[in-house]
Chain A
């Protein structure tokens, strides 16, 4: 753009610093409040560094509510659902991209059409269905219905379209079976898209709210976001503890984010632009 020392660039830089600070302030507020005593939360002028660091705000909620169990549930359900999504999406994406059979296009477009319908719009019958299957308040009920992703299918198909046919043909001529081709050739080639889908799907599932809210009715089966919301409604005026559990709930995702930062952002972009 313009050259380095111009006032525009300096203004831009200052603007960026301000924006950075503004974005981080809420998180810092959360962290700071989490260590305060209840009567210190609203003192004026605002104390960014608490006078004392009350670790009880972190330990007490952990004793009152099964946070670890919620964390485990979220991890287990998100992992299992993601595995299912990646598997079904790559299979279906491959099928729609590289095979021809009657009804193929129709099936594809019907699945894509479901993207238009928000979960909120079908939650009522979905709930009744899960109840009728006897899957309410079970892991099965949390995992299986979340195992299909129209977005995932679309993404995988998009990527697999650009896979060279010759590779597959060659393998067929060599006598390889279709499952073998899928497993040993198609999947490895599409690995970037698969891992993007996995990250995206895991994150989406980890944060999903409305469906687990209705399906998991006891503390044992709750996932972390639902547990956190129920903790909030039960202890809504104990702000330091609320902030403490919020901090705890952030940590896993943030750790993963920092480790996989580039991958994360790339996959977002990948799914956003191409998908």
Chain B
């Protein structure tokens, strides 16, 4: 009798312990960068998740973009980072994984029976931006390639056909130069084409789009030495530089170099053509609907039109290796990733889902085929170490080339010196 009651008591205790831990309140922290439409959808999804999971509280923080990479790395490195992060693919592979700051994708917590099952939800390329030694570390929040946005009225005004699209960079440069406007003193007042000059990540990202076309890599294959001063890289830098000084299409002085909304200049109408990634469509539409109505997206010009090269870059959701609730964190990541239609529609984020074409929202997604094609045929840029440092070193050199028309070879030689230190 006594044994039985002891057993009963024990099992009651165990059950209540089980119940308690199942309902134990959990607080998760989630930090992400400042991208207004994404911030909005994040906030909605967080609210919905908390409603559906009352024992979970999610505290989030929106980090200003030009501090984002440093702040995240330091916080994570010093053990005060959030449970869930949303980070660029090159940073995850080059800064976070080597330092063991993020955990492997926990497919079980996300509700899958195996990693293969999870991968089957996506197109082949989707998760490969965050894979190291065959292990996966992130779930894609956005996968991006670039297209060229053209504001048609400006094109027509300068006498070009409505459906014009450049096949080479020279063609783009010449036409864009014709679209530029100057005042009586010869100062440029309007730009035919330009990129953005925001933080180091931007410089690197845009440069990479050119670099994949010329065959430039930042480092050699074994990552022992920098190849940033190779003829291919000089050629890539020259494309950008020529837009400013040769074709007089672009002009950093006129660009708002600090906007939170990267496409602000295009939205404001001070530039006629620029690079755009999928999320850019939503930004333009949101910022200036009329502008969006008259925008056409075409494929980028190519250095070698016979052999086009497309660069992919992506952001991933990942979980802090020091998180106290990694399973809950991955559960939440799964929730975030389970609404591809909403991401597509409200933020224009492509997430690389295998079934994207079947999503109801895909029907209204502009240029869906081209974006999908880019995803399928494109490649991630060379994965290089110390993303922050590399990007900063490159930025310093690019600023000199682009702002001050410094000699490209000499400047890139100096950048190589910096980058060599990174891989020593």
Question: Are A230 and B64 touching (Cβ within 8 A)?
Answer: yes
Q: Which candidate, B18-26, B168-176, B257-265, B391-399, is the interface stretch facing chain A?
A: B257-265
Q: Which candidate, A6-14, A26-34, A151-159, A232-240, is the interface stretch facing chain B?
A: A232-240
Q: Does A219 contact B (CB under 8 A)?
A: yes
Could you list which residues of chain B lie within 8 angstroms of chain A, going by C-beta atoms? 34, 61, 64-67, 71, 74-75, 78-80, 256, 258-260, 264
Q: Can you list 26 pairs linking A and B with CB atoms under 8 Å apart?
A: A127-B78, A128-B78, A131-B78, A131-B79, A131-B80, A136-B78, A136-B80, A214-B74, A217-B71, A217-B75, A217-B80, A218-B61, A230-B64, A230-B67, A233-B64, A233-B65, A233-B67, A233-B258, A234-B65, A236-B258, A236-B259, A236-B260, A237-B256, A237-B258, A237-B259, A237-B264
Please give the distance in Å from B29's CB to the nearest CB on chain A: 9
By size class, the interface of chain A is: 10 to 19
Alpha-carbon gap, A233 to B67, bound state (A): 8
Alpha-carbon gap, A233 to B71, bound state (A): 13
Question: Are B71 and A234 touching (Cβ within 8 A)?
Answer: no
A127, A219, A234, A236: the one contacting B61 at CB < 8 Å is A219
Please give the distance in Å from B418's CB to the nearest CB on chain A: 20
Nearest-CB residue, chain A, relative to B61: A218
Residue-wise, chain A 127-148 has the 8 Å CB interface mask toward B (1 for contact) of 1100100001100000000000
Nearest-CB residue, chain A, relative to B68: A233
Alpha-carbon gap, A127 to B34, bound state (A): 26
Most buried by A among B64, B74, B259, B264: B64
Told that A128-B78, A131-B79, A236-B260 touch, could you supply 15 new A-B pairs with CB distance under 8 A?
A127-B78, A131-B78, A131-B80, A136-B78, A136-B80, A214-B74, A218-B61, A219-B61, A230-B67, A233-B65, A234-B34, A234-B65, A235-B260, A236-B259, A237-B260
A131-B78, A136-B80, A217-B75 are contacts. A233–B61 as well, Cβ < 8 Å?
no
Please give the distance in Å from A136's CB to the nearest CB on chain B: 5
Could you say which residues of chain A place their CB within 8 Å of the CB of B258? 233, 236-237
Nearest-CB residue, chain B, relative to A136: B80
Q: 10 closest pairs, A vs B, by CB?
A: A236-B258, A234-B64, A233-B64, A131-B78, A233-B66, A237-B259, A136-B80, A237-B256, A217-B75, A237-B258
Q: Which of A215-259 contact B (CB under 8 A)?
A: 217-219, 230, 233-237
Alpha-carbon gap, A8 to B66, bound state (A): 52
Question: Are B260 and A137 touching (Cβ within 8 A)?
Answer: no
Alpha-carbon gap, A128 to B78, bound state (A): 8
Alpha-carbon gap, A217 to B80, bound state (A): 9
Could you say which residues of chain B place their CB within 8 Å of the CB of A131? 78-80
Could you say which residues of chain A place their CB within 8 Å of the CB of B34? 234
Alpha-carbon gap, A88 to B75, bound state (A): 32
Alpha-carbon gap, A218 to B260, bound state (A): 19
Most buried by B among A128, A131, A217: A217
Please give the distance in Å from B57's CB to the nearest CB on chain A: 15
Could you say which residues of chain A place their CB within 8 Å of the CB of B74? 214
Nearest-CB residue, chain B, relative to A231: B64
Residue-wise, chain A 200-222 has the 8 Å CB interface mask toward B (1 for contact) of 00000000000000100111000
Residue-wise, chain A 82-124 has the 8 Å CB interface mask toward B (1 for contact) of 0000000000000000000000000000000000000000000
Alpha-carbon gap, A237 to B265, bound state (A): 12
B64, B66, B80, B264: the one contacting A137 at CB < 8 Å is B80
Question: Are B79 and A234 touching (Cβ within 8 A)?
Answer: no
Alpha-carbon gap, A131 to B80, bound state (A): 9
Could you say which residues of chain A place their CB within 8 Å of the CB of B264? 237
Alpha-carbon gap, A250 to B258, bound state (A): 24
Could you say which residues of chain A place their CB within 8 Å of the CB of B78? 127-128, 131, 136
Please give the distance in Å from A30's CB to the nearest CB on chain B: 18
Alpha-carbon gap, A131 to B81, bound state (A): 12
Could you say which residues of chain B place their CB within 8 Å of the CB of A236? 258-260
Alpha-carbon gap, A234 to B35, bound state (A): 11
Could you say which residues of chain A place their CB within 8 Å of the CB of B66? 233
Please give the distance in Å from B269's CB to the nearest CB on chain A: 13
Could you say which residues of chain A place their CB within 8 Å of the CB of B260? 234-237
Nearest-CB residue, chain B, relative to A233: B64
Please give the distance in Å from A69's CB to the nearest CB on chain B: 14
